[in-house]
Structure 1
C-alpha cells in the first residue's frame, strides 16, 4: 500500500501558527480528513481542523497531554462519512522522529478511534518540527504502523516530501543550475496531469518532459486535423491524414525523446471515464488547457476535493470584424483548494456552465448556445496563434516552477492570476487577496471520496 497525506495550504498555515506559539512547548491539533482509496493507494486529505486550545493541555517542551473528549464531534462525523482522524503535534526541540511518549499516546488514541469508527480505513499521526517540515505514519485497524510515503502541502509554495531521492541525469544539468537540485528532485518524483493537448497543452507537455518530470498523464478526446497542425507540437500532415488521436501522437513523441518520463494517455473526454479522473486524483499538479466551461468546472471540483494545485491556461483573441485582430490576451490562474475558484473569479457564470452542460449531455435540446473558441465575432475557426500559445504556455510552466522554487521578486502569493495583454504590451499580476473566496469550495475542500462523486450526479 502506498500512503499519502495532503494538506490544504490554509490548513497548514493555521496548524503551523497553533503548533508553534513561540513558548517552546508542544501543542496539538486534530484534523478530520477525507479519503481516496483505490488500486493500492490511500490518500488522506485535510478537510476540517480542530485546534486543541493551549490552556486545555498540559504542555512541556517534550510532551503534550490533552483531553480527547473535545474531538467527539469529529469522531461522530468520521464514523458517519467514513472519514479519517489525523492527530498532529509539534516537536519544538526539532526531534525528527516519533518518541516513546508519542508511541504510547498514539496507541491509546487510535485504539479508541478504531473502537468508535466501524470503517477500517487507516488513520494517522503526524509531527511538525520548527522549520515546518512534517513526518507522519498511518495506523491500521490491527494497530500496525506504516510511514507516509509522500506528504504534500498545497499552498502558495507547493511542498512535496518523499522518502526517496532520485539519481541525477546529465541532461538535467541546466535545470539544476537554474532551479537547484531540490527542485529537480521534486520534478523527477512528480506526477502531473495535462487536460487538453492542443495549442497550450502540447507546449506545456514538451516543457515538462524536458524539465525532467517523472510521470505525465495526458488527456484529450480529439484527433489531429489539418486545421490544427499550426499549433500542436510534434504533429505532422500524415497524422492529420490518418486521423490519429492527439494523445497518441504526443505519447509517441515523449517516448521518442527518451528522457525517462513515463506517460499515460487517454483519448477520451474527462466526463466519460472514472478511470481518467482516478488517474488525475493521484497527480501532484494539474494543468487545465481546455476551452470549455464545464471542463474547467470539473477540474476545479476535482482539485478542490482532492487537494491538487491547478493551473488553468487560457487564450483569447478578439476580432475587429474586418479580418483583423482587435486584442490578444492570455491568462494563467493558479488555483489553491479552499480559496478563490475560477467561478468566484468570475471566469464563468452559472448560466454559462448550465448551457455547456446541456450542450454536452443533450445536444438535441440545445438551442443557440454562445459559441466558444479563440476568436469571437469572426467567422474564423481557431486561427494560427502558436506564437501566443507558446508564450503563455511557457509563462504557465514558469509560474509552476516559481511555486516549487520561488525565484521572483515578489512572493508566489502575488501571482494567483497572471494576465498578458499582448496588444497593450503589459503583464498584470493579481494576488489571492484580490479575489473573493469561494465559500462552497471551502466547505468541500479535502472532502475526498463521497457519493455522488464530486457531488456531481452525472458522474
Structure 2
C-alpha cells in the first residue's frame, strides 16, 4: 500500500491565495504552486512558492472557466527544473463545488503533458473553493492520475481537507473536539514532539491518549538522576542506564 499523498501549505501563503483567487467578482482566477517534496517513501509536497496569475493577463475569466497564458507556466518551469520541484496548477471554483469538472480534465490533458516535456516525474492540478478548501491531484508522465489524500494548511489554526471525505463536491463538517470523529481523524495523523522532557513528555502522552497514530519523539538528551523527576514514566533504571 502506498503512503498517503499530502500537500502542505503555510498559513500566510494560503491566505494570499484566497485573496487572489477570490477577488470578489465571482470569476475564476489562477495561480501556480511550486512545491518541494519530502524524501521517499513519504509522499509529501510542501508549497515553496505560489505564483499568482494576474487577473488582467487571463484571456478568459468566467464563473466556470479560465484561460491564461502559458508564459507563467514557463516561468514556473524555470524556477522548478534545476531542483526537481513539483508544479501544481491551481484555479478557483467560485461556486463552491469541490470537484474537478470535465473542463478541468480536458485542460489538464492539454497542459500537463507540456510540463512533463520539460522535466519531472509528477506534476498536478488543484481547485480551491471560497471557504479556502483545496482539492488536488497528481499525474505521472503517462497521465495516470492520483488524488492527493490530504491538503493541510498550517497557520493560526491547522486545517485539514481530506479527499475521501468530499461527497458530491462538499466537505463534511469538521469533527467536534473529543468525539469519536476527532479520534478517528487523529488516527490518520502522525506527530513529532521536539524535546521530550518536562513539557514534551506530557505532550507526547496526551497525543497518544487522543489517538494520534504515530508519534516521533526527538531529544538528544539522556535520562539522568537530575531530570528523572520531570519526565513522565521514567524510572531509576532508565537513569542508571542513561
The SS at the match of 1:205 is helix
RMSD (CA atoms): 2.0
Distance 1:158 1:32, change over 3 A: same
Residues 194 and 217 in structure 2, CA contact (< 8 A), matched pair in contact too: yes
Higher gyration radius (CA): 1
CA distance in 2, matches of 1:163, 1:55: 32
The structural deviation recorded for 1:186 is 3.8
In structure 1, the partner of 2:171 is none
Residues 147 and 163 in structure 2, CA contact (< 8 A), matched pair in contact too: no
Residues 36 and 42 in structure 1, CA contact (< 8 A), matched pair in contact too: yes
In structure 2, the partner of 1:47 is 48
In structure 2, the partner of 1:207 is 206
Alignment of 1:192-341 (within 5 A): 192-241=191-240, 243-244=241-242
CA distance in 1, matches of 2:113, 2:195: 46
CA distance in 2, matches of 1:148, 1:178: 25
Distance 1:181 1:51, change over 3 A: farther
The SS at the match of 1:160 is strand
Residues 160 and 186 in structure 1, CA contact (< 8 A), matched pair in contact too: no
For residues 299-355 of structure 1, what are the alpha-carbon distances to aligned partners after superposition, in whole Å with 9 as ceiling and x for unaligned?
A: xxxxxxxxxxxxxxxxxxxxxxxxxxxxxxxxxxxxxxxxxxxxxxxxxxxxxxxxx
CA distance in 2, matches of 1:162, 1:97: 13
In structure 2, the partner of 1:34 is 36
The structural deviation recorded for 1:225 is 2.2
Which one has a larger percent helix, Structure 1 or Structure 2?
1
The structural deviation recorded for 1:223 is 3.5
CA distance in 1, matches of 2:164, 2:145: 19
The structural deviation recorded for 1:77 is 1.9
Is 1:141 the equivalent of 2:141?
yes
The structural deviation recorded for 1:42 is 2.3
The SS at the match of 2:82 is helix
CA distance in 2, matches of 1:177, 1:126: 27
The structural deviation recorded for 1:70 is 2.6
In structure 1, the partner of 2:169 is none
CA distance in 2, matches of 1:189, 1:95: 25
The SS at the match of 1:80 is coil
For residues 177-198 of structure 1, what are the alpha-carbon distances to aligned partners after superposition, in whole Å with 9 as ceiling and x for unaligned?
A: 7555654444332211112222
For residues 31-82 of structure 1, what are the alpha-carbon distances to aligned partners after superposition, in whole Å with 9 as ceiling and x for unaligned?
A: 211122312x222211122211112221111111111113322211212221
Is 1:162 the equivalent of 2:162?
yes
In structure 2, the partner of 1:128 is 128
CA distance in 2, matches of 1:177, 1:71: 41
CA distance in 2, matches of 1:160, 1:124: 19
In structure 1, the partner of 2:93 is 91
Distance 1:110 1:239, change over 3 A: same
The structural deviation recorded for 1:155 is 1.1
Q: Note the residue ranges of structure 2 that are not aligned, 5 or more in a row.
A: 166-174
Is 1:81 the equivalent of 2:83?
yes
TM-score, reference length from structure 1: 0.47
The structural deviation recorded for 1:105 is 0.7
CA distance in 2, matches of 1:132, 1:64: 19
Aligned residues: 230
CA distance in 2, matches of 1:68, 1:179: 48
CA distance in 1, matches of 2:177, 2:211: 13
The structural deviation recorded for 1:29 is 0.8
TM-score, reference length from structure 2: 0.87
